[in-house]
Amino acid sequence: MTNALLAPWDTPFGLPPFAAIAETDFSSAFDTALDSARATIGAIADNPDAPSFENTIDALELADHDLSRVASVFFTLVSTDATPALEALQRDISPKLAEYGSEITMNAALFQRIETLWSARNTLDLTDEQHRVLMLTRRGFVRAGARLEGSDRDRLKDIVQRLATLGTEFAQNMLHDERDWSMPLAADDLADLPAFLQDAAKSAGKDRDETGPVVTLSRSLIAPFLQFSPNRSLREKAWTAWTSRGENGGATDNRAIVKETLDLRAERARLLGFDSFADFRLDVEMAKTPANVRDLLMRVWKPARAAALADAEVLQAMLHADGHKGQLEPWDWRYYSEKRRIAEHDLDEAELKPYFQLDRMIDAAFACANRLFGLDAKPVDMTLHNPDARAWEITRNGEHIALFIGDYFARSSKRSGAWCSALRQQSKLAGNIRPIVMNTCNFAKPPEGAPALLSYDDARTLFHEFGHALHQMLSDVTYERISGTSVARDFVELPSQLYEHWLDVPDVLGEFATHADTGQPMPKALLDRLLAASTYDMGFQTVEYVASALVDLDFHEGPAPADPMQRQAEILDDIGLPHAIPMRHATPHFAHAFAGDGYSSAYYSYMWSEVMDADAFQAFEETGDPFDPATAKRLEDHILSVGGARDPAELFMAFRGAMPDPTALLKGRGLAA
């Protein structure tokens, strides 16, 4: 029978034919696609004709089309609906894909063709985009070891393959710890919780085939449980389970994986001529050096820590007033912070939540995109990777722009967090290829027939990920290599974090924050209180984030630590992390840093981008219209449509006219002096 993954996809919008794909198709599809890609790469490298941009760079761009299709489907499924069979294949295929990548970048004949083109670049008739693609291609080869020889070359190949295996194991261990833990709630414990949280606990129990309601380690469930449960012992139990993911001993313990990963990254950097992995990693980012990153983080850390310590004194007094002795603990912070928010701002999450319906927030994200960029979203009925997922066709002036997929609900087979991915990226080299973009979240699933309710933070997450999606959908370049979010890591969060600002526009909340039961808009007094409290508890939020970013940077800035957990403790002690505030991501479950190289020594990127996004939204505010057409056009022309076609600093300068400093960020977080 024909393997559906390799056959032509005669489907609407070129969507993968999920209904026709079986788990058993992937192994043979990967083997066939890898063989085909290797043959194509070999033909490019051994081409007897003189190197040209078309027969080398263009050819490389199109060389692994089938492999990209198979991989996009596979990694979508393994991250959103994992099964033991898919996880086993992921452990097998990840090092094979890493080996294939090394074969390409260490192909001496192929690299020589690229070097020949690079040397002659000023005499070639290349567009600006082609110059950029040539530079990035050559740089990628050099950073992957193309210049190494002999044993160094062989060692780097081994390191890259081993790191791929370790990243896969780290991520799967996290998923297993999250999947295997749940805490049943007795009737009295359930009754103490607001109705939306009771519903979420019941749905989680049903999803896991439990006999009753449970708390799981999904952030959308455990965070509100810590926020609302008056049972201190249960809060401690839940918090301990949440923060000990990856360090419970046994087969899913990640601490040895972290140690080996850091050792191998440091060795990799040395082989490539860098003093540390952070130097290697940051060399191609906007920040450029670890010193620049540390400077930004510490400028934010000092006022954030001062604010957090002042808040801790207030919350500890509330703890003592409740009859508890001793100091405020991490499992107490969210509970007493919520009580304080109600007292000081007259804001109750349980009162707010009915106004943040998932469907209405999706509508709000689409409406903002329409007002800013003229995009329209129309639901389409399609067979997707999971029954919970939904699809919309995105058009502009009747022209197809993209297919957008939203997979919003938590389930035990889905990895935690929220992210944007592309089943297909925009490009023009082989025709007008329009993207298929997907947002994946982990919101609590409601009981059947009930509306899904989000927290205000959940709604921000939805807008954040849709900002990434816009970066993909509005891309307008020739080469996939520089399409959409294929930009510097500390620039990629700019469009996503910038888009969050439109959730806070009063007109947007006034129209779309409607009550789930009555359909009435949020009362203006409540809306005003919500916006006035936008920086509430920002000391806590900033401290937990910056602590993780500093640990990530320190781990990679010098020699690999002999004992990462001990080094983590030393770093947190050195910076004076408040007792009741943990790192946002402790090392054994720090997926950004260890489930692959994506944000390794680059977790700071969110804050680096926030410096820009605070200033970028100010460009709209200066016009007096958050939807100013001319400013939106500049944003699309200079940032959203060009992907990585130009240096990110140039792009921001073209949009804003100057580079920002952290002042706007500190002001936006309520931490300015």
End-to-end CA distance of the chain: 68
Predicted local distance difference test score (pLDDT) of residue 44: 98
The length of the chain, given as a count of residues:
673
The whole-number pLDDT of residue 1 equals: 60
Provide the residue ranges of all domains of the chain, joining segments of one domain with +: 12-105+107-143, 182-244, 354-532
Q: What is the mean pLDDT of the chain?
A: 96
Domain 12-105+107-143 and domain 354-532, same fold? Reply is no
- Segment 236-249 shows an average pLDDT of 96
Task: Provide the pLDDT for residue 88.
Answer: 96
* The predicted structure's pLDDT at residue 207: 87
> Mind listing the pLDDT tens digit for each residue in 271-326?
999 999 999 999 999 999 999 999 999 999 999 999 999 999 999 999 999 999 99
560-584 pLDDT, tens digit each: 999 999 999 999 999 999 999 999 9
Q: Which fold has domain 12-105+107-143?
A: Glutathione S-transferase Yfyf (Class Pi); Chain A, domain 2 (1.20.1050)
Q: What is the pLDDT of residues 410-438, one digit of tens each?
A: 998 999 899 999 999 999 999 999 999 99
Fold adopted by 354-532: Neurolysin; domain 3 (1.10.1370)
Assign 107 to helix, strand or coil: coil
Give CA angle at 277 (259, 283), nearest 5°.
155
Q: And the tokens for 270?
A: 């040395």
Which residues are marked as active site? 465
**Given this model, what pLDDT does residue 664 score?**
85
Residue 126 has pLDDT above 90, yes or no: yes
- Beta bridge partners of residue 357, listed in sequence order: 453
469 contacts 439 by C-beta, under 8 angstroms: yes
Q: How far is CA 671 from the centre of its chain?
A: 25
Enter the tokens of residue 79. 């991250």
Q: What is the pTM of this model?
A: 0.95
SS3 195: helix
